[in-house]
């Protein structure tokens, strides 16, 4: 089996919280040597973002679960680059790196000589990825970026939540995570450029830009119609019926994607006549008449127990699903079959849970060799490597 695809790539991560570390974790999964630079005084803030906390066999606090969600596979070096000696070591480390990821406020690293223009002179091949809330220019560039703020400003919260109700954020920090994913794509493209030209480049990643970009069909719904989408609860603006419905013992997701599926759905619930009704025979008609359609199918659905209905819909080829808790998701046989939960040995007698990345490469599988590092766990190891490199 071949080595992971990014083996031999060194990444210096000057990032905290989520977006930058998420990018670093994925690069580590892909085989890169990701060195997380943390302040000796506490390290990444997310180490303290609990409970829950991971506890070692000997009772040692191994940091919050939040920290472990986004720092798998890295090495940690504890350096205070406000101190000259530590800054010198960091510059030596960057000189040996292919990639640097940072998420400081605009211009925050320049006073330390850690901005792109300064480091480009040190390492012309360096791919420098800066992640901020609003990017390097524009009126909001100096502002700090927080996922919740970005979800509000980007338009995401205006389309999330019940119709006529309070705007809602998504239940996980999607603006951070999407930015981390886009950052990895950009970094890999820049690495390809560096390989062919010998020149690195600066990557300007903004949470605001990333979240706007992933509004996808809702963006185009507005740009084409001139009407801003609104909150619709669990309903879909362009497809019907495609939402949550109540059954005899709870709720389920129904996701009818085309007219043939709708006809089969109608047969399952004993409402064959609806498929031939001109108001419902096409998706466009169903969208236009969604309230009347809901009135027709809701009473019928309430007569079915959830699991019995899901079995019938599955047999008929109609997309539908339960609404799992996270506990139920991890127990789901598909989750188990795909091996999404993994256990990692930390080398200190502890096994830590994690969740693998969703990419499966047949020739160059991803690497899951270590859990998130303890603060400064690899400081001496990395400094020793720098000394050996100089000799």
Q: At what angle do helices 174-197 and 19-29 cross, to 10 degrees?
A: 50
Query: Looking at residues 122-135, what average pLDDT do you find?
Result: 98
pLDDT digits (tens, 9 = 90+) for 134-145: 999 999 999 998
Q: How many CB atoms lie within 10 A of CB 317?
A: 10
pLDDT at 206: 98
pLDDT at 389: 87
For residue 1, pLDDT beyond 70? no
For residue 2, pLDDT beyond 90? no
Alpha helices, H only, the chain: 19-29, 65-68, 84-95, 116-122, 147-153, 174-197, 207-213, 216-225, 259-268, 272-275, 283-288, 290-301, 306-315, 326-331, 333-337, 379-390
- Sign of the C-alpha dihedral computed for residues 261, 263, 264 and 266 taken in this order: positive
For residue 183, pLDDT beyond 70? yes
pLDDT digits (tens, 9 = 90+) for 77-106: 999 999 999 999 999 999 999 999 999 999
- Cα gap 23→14, rounded to integer Å: 12
pLDDT at 129: 98
pLDDT digits (tens, 9 = 90+) for 223-278: 999 999 999 999 999 999 999 999 999 999 999 999 999 999 999 999 999 999 99
For residue 321, pLDDT beyond 70? yes
pLDDT digits (tens, 9 = 90+) for 36-52: 999 999 999 999 999 99
For residue 109, pLDDT beyond 70? yes
Catalytic annotation, pick one of 45, 176, 204, 314: 176
pLDDT digits (tens, 9 = 90+) for 291-301: 999 999 999 99
Tokens of residue 328, six digits: 């139920």
For residue 391, pLDDT beyond 80? no
For residue 348, pLDDT beyond 80? yes
pLDDT exceeding 90 applies to what percent of the chain? 98
Query: Does the annotation mark 176 as catalytic?
Result: yes
């Amino acid at each position: 089996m071949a080595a992971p695809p990014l083996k031999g790539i060194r990444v210096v991560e000057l990032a905290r919280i989520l977006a930058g570390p998420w990018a670093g974790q994925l690069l580590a999964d892909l085989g890169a040597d990701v060195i997380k630079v943390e302040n000796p005084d506490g390290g990444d803030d997310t180490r303290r973002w609990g409970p829950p906390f991971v506890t070692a066999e000997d009772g040692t606090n191994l940091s919050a679960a939040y920290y472990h969600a986004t720092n798998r596979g890295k090495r940690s070096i504890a350096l205070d680059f406000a101190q000259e000696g530590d800054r010198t070591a960091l510059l030596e480390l960057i000189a040996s790196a292919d990639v640097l990821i940072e998420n400081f406020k605009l211009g925050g690293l320049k006073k330390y000589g850690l901005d792109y223009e300064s480091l480009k002179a040190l390492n012309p091949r360096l791919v420098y990825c800066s992640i901020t809330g609003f990017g390097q220019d524009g009126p909001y560039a100096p502002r700090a970026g927080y996922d919740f703020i970005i979800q509000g400003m980007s338009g995401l919260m205006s389309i999330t939540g019940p119709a006529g109700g309070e705007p809602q954020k998504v239940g996980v920090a999607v603006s951070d995570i999407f930015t981390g994913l886009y950052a990895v794509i950009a970094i890999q493209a820049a690495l390809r450029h560096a390989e062919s030209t010998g020149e690195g480049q600066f990557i300007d990643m903004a949470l605001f830009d990333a979240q706007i970009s992933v509004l996808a069909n809702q963006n185009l719904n507005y740009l084409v119609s001139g009407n801003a989408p609104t909150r619709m609860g669990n309903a879909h603006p362009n497809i019907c019926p495609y939402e949550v419905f109540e059954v005899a013992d709870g709720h389920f997701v129904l996701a009818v994607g085309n007219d043939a599926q709708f006809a089969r759905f109608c047969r399952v619930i004993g409402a064959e006549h609806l498929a031939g009704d001109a108001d419902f025979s096409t998706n466009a008609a169903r969208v236009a008449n969604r309230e009347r359609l809901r009135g027709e199918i809701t009473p019928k659905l309430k007569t079915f127990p959830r699991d019995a209905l899901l079995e019938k819909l599955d047999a008929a080829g109609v997309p539908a699903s339960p609404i799992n808790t996270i506990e139920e998701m991890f127990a789901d046989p598909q989750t188990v079959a795909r091996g999404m939960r993994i256990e990692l040995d930390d080398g200190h007698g502890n096994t830590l849970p994690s969740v693998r990345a969703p990419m499966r490469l047949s020739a160059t599988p991803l690497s899951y060799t270590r859990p998130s590092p303890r603060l400064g766990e690899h400081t001496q190891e990395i400094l020793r490597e720098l000394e050996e490199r100089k000799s």
